[in-house]
């Protein structure tokens, strides 16, 4: 059963990450480097999709709310809640699995194939701790931050579209944003962001670290890493929603 084999090796990789750094300063440098790569490297695409997601949400919500009994400020409430609960964390993380995840897998895969990882091991460096741990911690710090930015930009994009297309005046939208606001939704979204961040960093690291062969295999590993990460994100999204959201 290769799946159990894979899960076992994945858990061994996680366990192998926790060892004493040989030199804290070098590890810190690597961590900062990864923060810039993951954070700033994906900021542009995250900003663009969040604004558009918010804009589309406003237009589509307006299109579906046809009853004159419903006040227009409801549109703002619905946009706010869908962006915070689902679009900002889940959609952004799916995109990040593609952007940051494939980068992590191909970086490690390339280092494995060109024997850079072997060279580090020979020097007596624990490569799981030096190469993988900083990526995961950087993701856990930067991805929830990106998700928070996505929330704000999504809601702003919704306002932009509402005003531009004459669906809802800015002042009404702003008023709607403050109605029936549930702070727990933001906490829930951030919990999701942390879980997704762990998936987006550890799964591609696993596939990258175990690459065997050459350039073709690096490509395959990074595709597989993205596919598996996306499936796990959606699966985790469902489990977390079922567990944490009070329904009925």
| Residue 24 or 69 with smaller CB distance to other proteins | 24
Q: Collapsing DSSP states into helix, strand and coil, what is residue 114?
A: coil
Residue 174 binds other proteins (CB under 8 A) = no
Q: Among positive and negative, which fits the CA dihedral 132, 134, 139, 140?
A: positive
Which of 22, 171, 181, 182 lies at the binding interface for other proteins (CB under 8 A)?
A: 22
Which of 114, 164, 213, 244 lies at the binding interface for other proteins (CB under 8 A)?
A: 114
Residue 239 C-beta-side C-alpha neighbours within 13 Å: 10
| Residue 80 or 128 with smaller CB distance to other proteins | 128
| Residue 25 or 248 with smaller CB distance to other proteins | 25
Residue 30 binds other proteins (CB under 8 A) = no
Query: What gap in Å lies between CA 37 and CA 248, rounded to an integer?
Result: 42
Which of 26, 215, 244, 245 lies at the binding interface for other proteins (CB under 8 A)?
A: 26
Residue 248 binds other proteins (CB under 8 A) = no
**Token digits of residue 201:** 């960093």
Q: Which residues contact 184 (CB under 8 A, 6 or more apart)?
A: none
| Residue 115 or 174 with smaller CB distance to other proteins | 115
Site string for other proteins, 121-160 (x = CB under 8 A): xxxxx-----------------------------------
**Token digits of residue 74:** 């409801």
Query: What gap in Å lies between CA 214 and CA 218, rounded to an integer?
Result: 6
- Which residue has 């073709």 as its token pair? 216
| Residue 113 or 142 with smaller CB distance to other proteins | 113
Residue 69 binds other proteins (CB under 8 A) = no
Q: Which residues contact 170 (CB under 8 A, 6 or more apart)?
A: 159, 162, 163
Residue count of the chain, please give it: 248
Interacting residues with other proteins (CB under 8 A): 22-23, 25-26, 110-111, 113-116, 118-119, 121-125
């Amino acid at each position: 059963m290769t799946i159990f084999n894979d899960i076992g090796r994945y858990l061994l990789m996680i366990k192998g990450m926790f060892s004493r750094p040989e030199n804290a300063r070098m590890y810190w440098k690597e961590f900062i480097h990864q923060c810039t790569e993951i954070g700033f490297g994906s900021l542009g695409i995250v900003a663009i999709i969040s604004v558009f997601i918010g804009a589309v949400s406003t237009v589509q919500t307006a299109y579906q709310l046809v009853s004159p009994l419903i006040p227009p400020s409801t549109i703002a409430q619905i946009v706010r809640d869908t962006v915070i609960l689902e679009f900002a964390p889940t959609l952004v993380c799916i995109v990040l699995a593609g952007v940051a995840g494939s980068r992590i897998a191909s970086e490690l895969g390339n280092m494995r194939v060109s024997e850079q990882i072997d060279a580090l091991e020979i020097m007596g460096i624990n490569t799981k701790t030096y190469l993988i741990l900083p990526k995961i911690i950087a993701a856990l710090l930067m991805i929830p931050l990106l998700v928070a930015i996505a929330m704000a930009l999504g809601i702003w994009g919704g306002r932009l579209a509402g005003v531009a297309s004459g669906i809802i005046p800015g002042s009404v939208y702003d008023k709607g944003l403050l109605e029936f606001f549930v702070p727990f939704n933001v906490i829930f979204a951030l919990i999701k962001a942390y879980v997704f961040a762990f998936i987006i960093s550890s799964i591609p690291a696993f596939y990258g670290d175990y690459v065997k062969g050459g350039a073709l295999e690096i490509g395959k590993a990074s595709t597989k890493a993205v596919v598996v990460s996306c499936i796990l994100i959606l699966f985790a999204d469902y489990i977390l929603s079922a567990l944490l959201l009070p329904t009925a």
